[in-house]
Structure 1
Amino acid sequence: MAASIDGVLTTGQLPVVVIGAGPIGLAAAAHLVERGLEPLVLEAGPSAAGAVREWSHVRLFSTWGEVIDPAAEKLLAPTGWVRPDANAYPTGGDWAQRYLQPLADALGDRVRYGTTVTGVARAGRDRIVDAGRDEQPFTVHVHSTDGREERITARAVIDASGTWSVPSPMGADGLPALGEKAAAEHITYRVPDLDDPAIRARYAGRRTAVIGSGASAFTALALLADLAKDEDGTHTVWILRRGIGANTYGGGEADELPARGALGLRAKAAVEAGHATAATGFRTEAVERDGDQLILIAEDGRRLDPVDEVIVLTGLRPDLTFLSELRLGLDERLQAPTALAPLIDPNVHSCGTVYPHGVNELSHPEQDVYLVGMKSYGRAPTFLAMTGYEQVRSIAAAIAGDHEAAERVELTLPETGVCGGAGLFDEPDAAQGSEGGGCCAAPTTLQIGTGAPAATSGSGGC
């Protein structure tokens, strides 16, 4: 680390700011500590893994052995932490309580809660200015729950804030359908917790539309099918923007994550048993009220029979507003880093495996700023927690100057067992996960938003 000049810290002595205390943000901090670097994790919520806690009822389709980061485990070892059974499948609540919060506790005052990042820029340089830009540290603008505003100076910024807070609307054009906002009391953008009596009563004996075709939608279909077995009159209308084909339900028994494959088979069983009816090729344009019910209208003019509730699971999006003064290189479709986008683009990516990737694919024109985890995938689906762990291992190595380690691949990802043509994933799933969500999510190798065992690590992938 460079020495200070006249008592002023040089860039090398400044912390690396990590935005978000979810699975990938905390793993990033653990890797930085392992490299002898000082992280400062900024978390908007009152505890670690705020997004994961919001889908605490969802079971990951990755095992404990696949959602614990190696550097994090080393950091936890001296604390007396007991590693869960590697072959068991945790819920989001398990993940937060038994791993993520203990990890945040082990990091101590390197994690600050109740701190919302409102902007990131180069110190003294707005987005336009070239002169001396790369020599300037970052300034991170934050707002605390007690009302204080603060400026934090950082040598690098790792944004692991996820996508959980920005669910996609039901409108097929990417904008809210006409009437969607007015009908908000009958619409949710999360997988419902049917173990909660109040939430269960909202769907029991009623017709519910589920919009989406990823792991979160599969989870909702499976949970509502179980409810239908106990509550007469419970029925689901499954709305897909594409048709039903050989790959609709995922890889099944060919999936190398068995619980992920089983989730798709549960959704298929719900349809075959008559608990759910599919409306295919239905691209929602408008929502109309019919008394206390809603009628969904497609862009081709089709009108569905009235439903009581709508569950919209059409994906998640990154919040880029607080990064507006940085020079990011993002794909115009996915809002993912330019070099990463071709590896994950659902328009052209025909198989379920995404190559492991690190600092090279995640770099931007603005040096030393990185989007990781669910946020690095932009609007793309199928993010796995283990993917995020490899990302931050590589980035921490690069910040530390170990370029050989940064470029080395230390991960083999499981295949989905699904291959097909372009457009296979017409509707990104929003598995939320940390960072969402996220891993995953409902959830990354957690896929966000599924049943038991179901979603995990991140958008569509835990």
Structure 2
Amino acid sequence: MSEGHDLPVLVIGAGPIGLAAAAHLTGRGLDVIVAESGSAAASAVREWGHVRLFSTWAELVDPAAEKLLGPTGWTRPDPATYPTGADWAKRYLQPLADTLGAKVRYNTTVTGVARAGRDRVVDSGRSEQPFTVHLTTADGREERISAAAVIDASGTWSTPSPVGADGLPALGEKAHAARISYRIPDLKDPQVRARYAGKRTAVVGSGASAFTALAGLADLAQQESGTHAVWVLRRGLTGSTFGGGSADQLPARGALGQAAKAAVENGHASALTGFRTTAVEESDGRLALVSDEGTRAEDLDEIIVLTGLRPDHSFLSELRLGLDERLQAPVALAPLIDPNQHSCGTVYPHGVAELSHPEQGVHLVGMKSYGRAPTFLAMTGYEQVRSIAAHLAGDHEAATRVELTLPETGVCGGAGLFDQPTTESSCCSTPAAPQLITLNVSSGSCCSTSGGC
């Protein structure tokens, strides 16, 4: 911030982490502009507003934001309760954005960020130049502003991963897009409910989003006959498939996995394991998923793809980012969040040191910083932006200080490890070929979530 210190810091995205960044910067006396592409704060959160978080209010309110909100008469929700996404947006995120006032610019999309007068190639005088930011408003008007630093908190919500196991759309995925969703369905919405009621739906994915969808479809199956889910997993079932259960220090997260487990045990869902999708086909009005080995999951009416999200770096193409080749996360952060090794409870708290790039003054935060790694908590993002704001304000002692302890997941290994074949003697080994099973796990089973394998 020594150069261009009279210019604002640009924050991209008025979601939970972007607004927290603005609160920390404001608290340190720095000017800030928040560019939000939606018409209100937390536009992405509002799209999954029907989903209940597995973090409590105590873990979802940033301290610097609460300090800004206090004088406005804002009342903090019961810290022990669990909000939905809609609650989070209405009761905290929008009031925070309102408190920031004109610092937040809605309907404003960042289309490009570069060094003023320098493309990606040019070295000469690069670090002395401010950032130039290209913006587009809702009416299509283009605008250019200058910034002293850029904090990208735009998230990954707009770029869900496809059903194709190779990371690319499966054959036929685009052709059958009308019957494929990449979001957790809101089954309280009459139109959405009618889409899945009495239908056979494939749910592809193995994380919390898939658990939520399975639990919701299981509830629907108890009310609407003919409703059934086929849970498609690329790996086999293991002791950690359903999360940490009672060992998870976020109880609601543990309970979510158990709800998905119950959906399978009670016959409302079948688990198709070791299935790597390469194609989506249609026959006689029904869909089928085809695996790389030619196995088929047939007689499907709908497909819900919850295989993760990925970052969009296209508007940062003229900046010099240091990104891990696998995760698309900052190179210093990637080893800490690698899903082959870590869950969100085993990630060491991190800040500006791990989030810096060869292009000084640029920081990717929140879900955007995790790239393709899925296990992100809001608390992690709040610690990230606290550290970065301190750094930009010149308080390097505070920037390097750790002020966060994360809750354990109860899952001892990263999910990626379970994608590898184990020995034949292991009861939890990945099947050699896709297998369709209805799970009935007793407490004494080697693969029970209580004991692991």
Q: What TM-score do you get using the length of structure 2 for normalisation?
A: 0.91
Higher Rg = 2
Question: Helix, strand or coil for the counterpart of 2:312?
Answer: coil
Q: Are residues 393 and 425 of structure 1, via their aligned partners in 2, closer, same or farther at CA, if it must alter by over 3 Å?
A: farther
AA aligned opposite 1:256: Q
**May I ask how many residue pairs the two structures share in their alignment?**
420
Residue 306 of structure 1, aligned match among 299, 305, 311: 299
Q: What TM-score do you get using the length of structure 1 for normalisation?
A: 0.89
**Which residue does the alignment assign to 2:62?**
69
Q: Are residues 260 and 422 of structure 1, via their aligned partners in 2, closer, same or farther at CA, if it must alter by over 3 Å?
A: closer
The 1-side partners of 2:241 and 2:277 are apart by 19
Over aligned residue pairs, what C-alpha RMSD do you find? 1.3
Superposition pairs of residues 266-415 of structure 1, within 5 angstroms: 266-349=259-342, 352-415=345-408
The 2-side partners of 1:46 and 1:67 are apart by 22
Query: Is 2:235–2:418's contact at 8 Å kept on the other side of the alignment?
Result: no
Q: Does residue 1:30 correspond to 2:29, yes or no? A: no
Deviation at 1:347, TM superposition (A): 2.2
Query: Is 1:350–1:424's contact at 8 Å kept on the other side of the alignment?
Result: no
**Cα shift readout 1:57-104 (whole Å, capped 9, x = no counterpart):** 000000001000000000001111111000010000000000000000
**Which residue does the alignment assign to 2:437?**
none
Residue 218 of structure 1, aligned match among 206, 211, 226: 211
Q: Does residue 1:114 correspond to 2:145, yes or no? A: no
**Which residue does the alignment assign to 1:79?**
72
Q: Does residue 1:262 correspond to 2:261, yes or no? A: no
Question: Helix, strand or coil for the counterpart of 2:382?
Answer: helix
Unaligned ranges ≥5, structure 1: 3-9, 428-462
Deviation at 1:353, TM superposition (A): 1.4
Question: Helix, strand or coil for the counterpart of 1:13?
Answer: coil
**Which residue does the alignment assign to 1:41?**
34
Query: Is 1:351–1:418's contact at 8 Å kept on the other side of the alignment?
Result: no
Q: Are residues 356 and 37 of structure 1, via their aligned partners in 2, closer, same or farther at CA, if it must alter by over 3 Å?
A: same
Query: Is 2:134–2:142's contact at 8 Å kept on the other side of the alignment?
Result: yes
Q: Does residue 1:178 correspond to 2:171, yes or no? A: yes
**Which residue does the alignment assign to 2:140?**
147
Q: Are residues 407 and 421 of structure 1, via their aligned partners in 2, closer, same or farther at CA, if it must alter by over 3 Å?
A: closer
AA aligned opposite 2:270: T
Deviation at 1:346, TM superposition (A): 1.3
The 1-side partners of 2:296 and 2:46 are apart by 36
The 1-side partners of 2:90 and 2:20 are apart by 16
Deviation at 1:225, TM superposition (A): 0.2
The 2-side partners of 1:69 and 1:420 are apart by 29
AA aligned opposite 2:277: T
Query: Is 2:48–2:86's contact at 8 Å kept on the other side of the alignment?
Result: yes
The 1-side partners of 2:89 and 2:70 are apart by 17
Question: Helix, strand or coil for the counterpart of 1:305?
Answer: strand
The 1-side partners of 2:280 and 2:293 are apart by 14
AA aligned opposite 2:394: G
Residue 235 of structure 1, aligned match among 221, 228, 231: 228
- Which structure would you say has the larger RCO, counting Cα contacts within 8 Å and 6 or more residues apart? 1
Unaligned ranges ≥5, structure 2: 421-453
AA aligned opposite 2:61: I
**Cα shift readout 1:149-188 (whole Å, capped 9, x = no counterpart):** 1111000000000000000000000000000000001100
AA aligned opposite 1:338: V
The 1-side partners of 2:405 and 2:419 are apart by 26
Query: Is 2:345–2:406's contact at 8 Å kept on the other side of the alignment?
Result: no
AA aligned opposite 1:232: S
AA aligned opposite 2:262: A
AA aligned opposite 2:38: G
Q: Are residues 336 and 351 of structure 1, via their aligned partners in 2, closer, same or farther at CA, if it must alter by over 3 Å?
A: closer
The 1-side partners of 2:275 and 2:297 are apart by 10
Deviation at 1:422, TM superposition (A): 7.2
Question: Helix, strand or coil for the counterpart of 2:298?
Answer: coil
Runs ≥4 residues deviating over 4 A: none
Question: Helix, strand or coil for the counterpart of 1:295?
Answer: strand
AA aligned opposite 2:402: V
Question: Helix, strand or coil for the counterpart of 2:136?
Answer: strand
Query: Is 2:343–2:409's contact at 8 Å kept on the other side of the alignment?
Result: no
Deviation at 1:290, TM superposition (A): 1.3
The 2-side partners of 1:236 and 1:424 are apart by 26
